[in-house]
Amino acid sequence: MEPLPEPAGAPLAVTPAEPPAETPAETPAETPAETPADTPAETAAPAAIACRDVSFDYGSIRALADVSFTVQPGEFATLVGANGAGKSTLYALLSGLFAPGAGQVSVAGIDLRRHPTRALARLGIVFQRSTLDGDLSVRRNLRYFADLQGIPSDVARVRIDDALRRHAIADVADRRADRLSGGQRRRVELARSLLHDPTVLLMDEATAGLDGPSRRDFVAHVRSLVDALGVSVLWATHLADEVRPSDVTHLLDRGRLLAAGPLAELLERHGANDIESLTTMLRADPAGGARRS
Amino acid sequence: MTTHVADAPRRDRRAPFRALRGIVVREALRFVHQRGRFFSALVRPLVWLFIFAAGFRSVLGVSIIEPYSTYIRYEEYIAPGLVGMILLFNGMQSSLSMVYDRESGSMRVLLTSPMPRAWLLVCKLVAGVSVALLQVYVFLAIAWFWDVRPPLAGYVTALPALLLAGLMLGALGLALSSFIRQLENFAGVMNFVIFPMFFASSALYPLWKIEESSEWLYVLCTINPFTHAVELVRFAMYASLSLSAAAVTALFTAVFLGIALYGYDPSRGATAARARR
């Protein structure tokens, strides 16, 4: 059976994360079950997320075809595609909800299929639809998640108080989750996803349902946290204005990865004005998409 | 310095029990918030006890059968069956909440937590049974005033039997929930599972009575796992142990749990099939 995860013994601090190469769980001495293929070289940190030739079918419909990409440690990467491009399917595979028909997914160098609990311990996830328990308070929702992560009570209390302050939701801590505004719910879900101090944060259309100001505020908030915590983020969106020119962008279309790289570079290389025209261009000529290794 | 949860140098063996606590507390809070569920869970067997049993007392005479040492009133006979009814409905209610959680998305939080999926499902089962046990003892307390009075020791010896029976029926619900795609489909399945299981069992009438009426129905009742769960509880309430009932109940618990684990496996079973539809 898969080894159980190792909960933290110390509260989360608002300081940049340690380089992943220093993490004991990734050294062979601590994890005899880990094969050399899963374990990075001592000098090189493993990719925060590595997807290799991942395919997935819904019956006879191919949802993802040979998708390969990586997200580097501390990187804010975006996964951009129109509705139906395969983003949510890809997120279901990255979070272990579905198993890929072919290919491999690893998180911080850990194969998700072979060591799911250890890989999931490194993932924080904000789903497209709210997954808060509506009839529980914000604090109780966070506590439930901390328990699921196996975090000790005393540590959980400190982290929850810290998260409530950091995400500016302390004033609604005792309010039922179904009485929160859309923006507040997203902040609670973000706070929850970071409670166990993950290496990678998956955000699947996390601004869905938010109005313009709330959306901008939320995106800025996440970006500020990335800088503070050093966590890697894979941000899925179909909204071009959520992507900065410097963001490493993975362009997904009809289940295929068309291109990957900093958005500004991609646009310049293909002479496109925006993401939509870039997609149209690359859809017609898929070989023109530059894959980022 | 930041300490990553996943990077702590030791394995915390208490982590799974924290997950168990979290799931049990959540289920209990949900139960407390849904007071209607508590009352409806209680009213159902009480109606059977107060009205049905009173009406059928004279029609359905019960001779001396194990574990009873003397003639008993019909109310006393059906009490273990009604306890089984509470466990059966609660098992289905728990799985209904699994289907609801899956539709509402909150199931994702559970399934993406870093615990073995089998353990998470067992935690859900235990949480559901804990809530059911509370209902059972409240029911038995009310039934005491209706002269359903097993020996005091029976209230204690019934506990492990209730736990096992509850686990079996919860596992059945869990297995069903893994194969049910939508909430709307659940009501139909409940009708096809709950009522046949309840009526084709020894909950309301002894098996010898059924055998007198219909041989095939008798055979059906003897292979119905609910019959064995009820008999297990019946014997335990009178401080006795029915080994055969315990063995069959344990066997079906393992079978149903195995089906549920298969169904919730993302690479096999119903979860994979659902993803591929």
Give A131's contacts in chain B (Cβ within 8 Å): 104-106, 108-109
Percent of chain B with pLDDT over 90: 49
Average pLDDT of the residues in B10-20: 84
Reported ipTM: 0.81
B12 to A13: CB separation less than 8 angstroms, yes or no: no
Q: What domain range includes position B78?
A: 27-103+128-276
**How close A96 comes to chain B (CA, Å)?**
7
Instruction: Give residue B35's pLDDT.
Output: 77
Interface test with A, best of B113, B123, B178 (most A CBs within 10 A): B113
A143 to B22: CB separation less than 8 angstroms, yes or no: yes
Instruction: Give residue A170's pLDDT.
Output: 95
Instruction: Give residue A16's pLDDT.
Output: 34
Q: How confident is the model at residue B272 (pLDDT cuts 50, 70, 90)?
A: low
Name which of A16, A144, A151 is nearest B26 (Cβ-Cβ): A144
Give B276's contacts in chain A (Cβ within 8 Å): 57-59
Strand A49-58: give its sheet, edge to edge.
A61-71, A49-58, A102-107, A110-111
Task: Please check whether residue B103 touches A, CB under 8 A.
Answer: no
Q: What is the mean pLDDT of chain B?
A: 85
* Chain A with chain B: Cβ pairs closer than 8 A: 187
pTM: 0.81
Instruction: Give residue B195's pLDDT.
Output: 87
Is residue B112, in this structure, part of any structural domain at all? no
Residues B78-123: tens digit of each pLDDT: 999 999 999 999 888 887 888 888 777 788 899 899 999 899 999 9
As for how many domains chain B has, the answer is 1
Residue A44, classed as helix, strand or coil, is coil
Closest chain A residue to B15, measured at CA: A150
Is residue B253, in this structure, part of any structural domain at all? yes
Interface test with B, best of A1, A2, A6, A232 (most B CBs within 10 A): A6
Instruction: Give residue A192's pLDDT.
Output: 95
Alpha-carbon gap, residue A107 to A121, rounded angstroms = 10
Match 């509402």 to its residue by tokens. B104
Name which of B14, B106, B116 is nearest A2 (Cβ-Cβ): B116
Match 């039997």 to its residue by tokens. B161
Instruction: Give residue B270's pLDDT.
Output: 56
Task: Please check whether residue B105 touches A, CB under 8 A.
Answer: yes
Asked if CATH classification 3.40.50.300 holds for the domain at A46-132+200-288, the reply, yes or no, is yes
Cα B146 to Cα B46, B63, B81, distances in angstroms = 10, 21, 16
Give B116's contacts in chain A (Cβ within 8 Å): 1-2, 4, 117
Is residue B108, in this structure, part of any structural domain at all? no
3-state secondary structure B84-137: HHHHHHHHHHHHHHHHHHHHHCCHHHHHCCCCCHHHHHHHHHHHHHHHHHHHHH
Is residue B257, in this structure, part of any structural domain at all? yes
The domains of chain A are located at 46-132+200-288
For each successive 10 residues of chain A (293 residues), what is the average pLDDT? 46 36 35 40 77 91 93 93 90 91 94 93 92 92 96 96 93 95 92 94 88 86 85 92 92 93 93 90 69 41
Interface of B with A in 10-29 (CB under 8 A): 10-16, 18-19, 21-23, 25-26, 29
**How close B124 comes to chain A (CA, Å)?**
12
Closest chain B residue to A30, measured at CA: B9
Name which of A3, A123, A229 is nearest B11 (Cβ-Cβ): A3
Give A93's contacts in chain B (Cβ within 8 Å): none
Burial profile B198-233: b = 16 or more Cβ within 10 angstroms, e = fewer = bebbbbbbebebbeeeeeeebeebbebbbbbbbbbb
Strand partners, A184: none
Q: Read off the tokens for A27.
A: 């050294």
B6 to A133: CB separation less than 8 angstroms, yes or no: no
Alpha-carbon gap, residue A226 to A221, rounded angstroms = 9
Residue B63, classed as helix, strand or coil, is coil
Instruction: Give residue B32's pLDDT.
Output: 83
Interface test with B, best of A93, A149, A153, A179 (most B CBs within 10 A): A149
DSSP strand pairing (A123-126 vs A200-204):
parallel
Q: How confident is the model at residue B39 (pLDDT cuts 50, 70, 90)?
A: confident
Closest chain A residue to B23, measured at CA: A144
Strand partners, A58: A61
Average pLDDT of the residues in B234-240: 94
Task: Please check whether residue B64 touches A, CB under 8 A.
Answer: no
